[in-house]
Structure 1
């Protein structure tokens, strides 16, 4: 199976799709700009990030209600980020289903390492086998949480 082929999963009136052409960039931007992790992000940055990622859009009928983005080399590594379900659709196990779909995607079976950062839903990721990386001198990062606000101030 071609891991770059579009994958889709259906459940009642919901659809999860990796088809980039179905994504509502404005809707994704509206959510991300008010999120705790990408507050103030501009729409062009959202568009560019989607173009260079494996994306999972969650749709209710024709409206986008959730999203997850996976930055990957499609061989050994992936970074799962920008995961959300709109508040009015939470409580329907859509987050769990979204994670199940990501784990069912053909690219997932070959990945040696999947990384994510969260302060909002560790309980969800633990159910899928994710563990905190709290070992000294193991995981390293450069973190710039205010980069989108800083970019606006420079303009």
Structure 2
């Protein structure tokens, strides 16, 4: 069952049937710094295997999105937070974060992560801090896939 709420004239929903996948892909593939050029098939698979949220204007148009990679029990990684340029002054980033913070499937986690180049102030308002125990974290970064 979809989790939905209305905030400031926008409907926020995790209903996959409502999510505008082509619009979201255009945003992420052409306007994001973190996934520029991501193929549609890859993005589709990522969304299908994540908790994907849209913020919808009164006319039903998707105005913002966020995706959470999660096991829905212990861990989540918030990614692909994007607000359409026309709505960037309407507080949708804050609305998305408040929705995610209250989402029933994202409660009681040991860790909730995200990465950002330029929105630290927004995320700090919701309790995010710099990564702790960074010396414990490792990664594999394929330069052919990850260009930035």
TM-score (norm 2): 0.90
CA-based RMSD of the aligned residues comes to 1.7
> What is the number of equivalent residue pairs in this alignment?
145
Paired residue secondary structure (2:107) = helix
Deviations 1:21-61 (A, max 9, x none): 11111101100012100000111111111111111111112
Match of residue 66 from structure 1: 64
Return the structure number with greater relative CO, CA threshold 8 A, min gap 6: 1
**What 5-or-longer segments of structure 1 have no aligned partner?**
150-155
Residue 20 of structure 2 corresponds to: 24
- The residue matched to 2:64 in structure 1 has which SS? strand
Conserved 8 A contact 1:39-1:148: no
Residue segments in structure 2 that go unaligned for 5+ positions in a row: none
Structure 1, residues 93-127: CA drift from partner, whole Å, max 9, x if none? 11001000001111222211111111021111111
Change (3 A) 1:100 1:118: same
Contact residue 71 and residue 80 of structure 1 kept, 8 A: yes
Q: Deviations over 1:40-91 (max 9, x none)?
A: 0111111111111111111112111111000111100001100011111011
TM-score after normalising by structure 1? 0.86
Q: Are the structure 2 counterparts of residues 136 and 24 from structure 1 closer, same or farther at C-alpha, using a change threshold of 3 Å?
A: closer
Q: CA separation in 1, counterparts of 2:99 and 2:140?
A: 30
Looking at structure 2, the residues matched to 52 and 145 of structure 1 have their Cα atoms a distance apart, in angstroms, of 23
- Please show how residues 1-155 of structure 1 align to structure 2 within 5 Å: 5-34=1-30, 35-60=32-57, 61-133=59-131, 135-144=133-142, 147=145
Whole-Å separation in 1 of the counterparts to 2:112 and 2:44: 23
C-alpha distance in 2 between matches for 1:11 and 1:127 = 18
